[in-house]
Amino acid sequence: MPNKSAIIIGITGQDGAYLAKFLLDKGYEVFGIFRRLSTPNFWRLQYLGIFDRVNLIPADLIDGTSLVEAIKISEPDEIYHLAAQSFVGASFEQPVGTGEITGLGTTRILEAIRHINPKIKFYQASTSELYGNNKSGIQNEDTPFRPASPYAAAKLYGYWITKIYRESYGIFACNGILFNHESPLRGLEFVTRKISNAVAKIVLGMESSIELGNLEAKRDWGYAPEYVEAMWLMLQQDEPDDYVIATNEAHSVKEFAQKAFEIAGLNWKNHVKVSQKFLRPLDVNFLRGDYSKAKEKLG
Ligand code: NAP
Ligand code: GDD
């Protein structure tokens, strides 16, 4: 049987790079969609040593024709849709752009699949942000959504349109409801990497402090390379479905900072300042995922 092929939309991001490595190791032919920027952004693929092993295709989520072209060229068995304006804070500054890219972008891909080859399997990068400020102490696939940012509202649209295309057209389309996941490849604006980067600079004497926003928010933080395997597993099942991927543990930003400074032999209180600049108009206070379904069905 010939090797399978996959398109990763958003291959230049954290998850895209790890998933590309994972699929290459499984023997897949990997196509990666990236958007044209004035300065190429392939550092993650280079860091993982796979830049020369992926086929890169330029396309943009706001340009449906470019997505159609990319799918026609590569004839994939599976599409992993990981591209998004993924920074929650920025979605308050660019709410319409976030809706266009993170919300409608998903429909553009699903429409292309429907017209070109509805047998292509589809993974949608859904998120624990969908739960927003839901009052439950733990969230699973049946917990009601209550999005709390333009990003989460756009992702809620993406979640539902994925289900709608599954139920209307029989497309093998899955939502992975992934809780926060981090790694050395995480973008520097997200809080874990922002803190670890600052700790390193402070230890090296390049900086003396870091400004953060809401220290009380709690997140269920996992490890990105493990979470991309869960994406792949979802597309290998007999039936398409939606799954929560999480660790079942919640920790605060304060705890994270404390630990990160402690590891470098420093007291966080001497270096962390709270700044209004990093407070969001509305924040999600508590996320903790119940992964029972994924454990049972995906192993
Ligand atoms: P990321 O590092 O921010 O990567 C996002 C990717 O989307 C990048 O490759 C980016 O390209 C691309 N992109 C942005 N706008 C685009 C456009 N208009 N056209 C084409 N590509 C575009 O995000 P991540 O952490 O890997 O997350 C992957 C996905 O999972 C995202 O959809 C995110 O919302 C979702 N998610 C993430 C987490 C998490 O904790 N990491 C949890 C749940 C869900 P550039 O490199 O050019 O910017
Ligand atoms: N980024 C950032 N910067 N966040 C801060 C800061 C800061 O200086 N100070 C406090 N925080 C708080 C945020 O207010 C939030 O409550 C928490 O730290 C985590 O923020 P981020 O790391 O930016 O991640 P996020 O939880 O908002 O969103 C990430 O996870 C989602 C899954 O739940 C992103 O990866 C989303 O794309 C993803 O869907």
Distances (CA, A) of 93 to 29, 87, 89, 280, 281: 38, 10, 7, 10, 10
pLDDT computed for residue 215 by the predictor? 98
* Residue pLDDT, tens place only, 250-299: 999 999 999 999 999 999 999 999 999 999 999 999 999 999 999 999 99
pLDDT bracket for residue 1 (50, 70, 90): low
pLDDT bracket for residue 191 (50, 70, 90): very high
pLDDT computed for residue 135 by the predictor? 87
Q: How many angstroms separate the CA atoms of 199 and 183, rounded?
A: 15
Instruction: Centre a 10 Å sphere on the Cβ of residue 36 and count the other Cβ atoms it contains.
Output: 9
Beta strand 181-182 with 55-58 is unpaired
User: What would you measure as the largest C-alpha separation in the chain, in angstroms?
Assistant: 60
Q: How many angstroms separate the CA atoms of 27 and 45, rounded?
A: 17
Please list the alpha-helical segments (H only) found in the chain: 14-25, 43-47, 64-74, 88-93, 95-98, 105-116, 150-169, 191-203, 224-235, 253-263, 292-298
Ligand 2: residues with CB < 6 A are: 86, 88-89, 127-129, 179-180, 189-191, 194, 212-214, 217, 219, 253, 278, 280, 283-284, 287
- pTM to 2 decimals? 0.98
- Say yes or no to pLDDT of 138 above 80: yes
Contact status, residue 9 vs residue 83, Cβ threshold 8 Å: yes
d(CA 248, ligand 1 centre) in Å: 23
* Residue pLDDT, tens place only, 67-85: 999 999 999 999 999 999 9
- Stretch 186-208: mean pLDDT: 98
d(CA 89, ligand 2 centre) in Å: 8
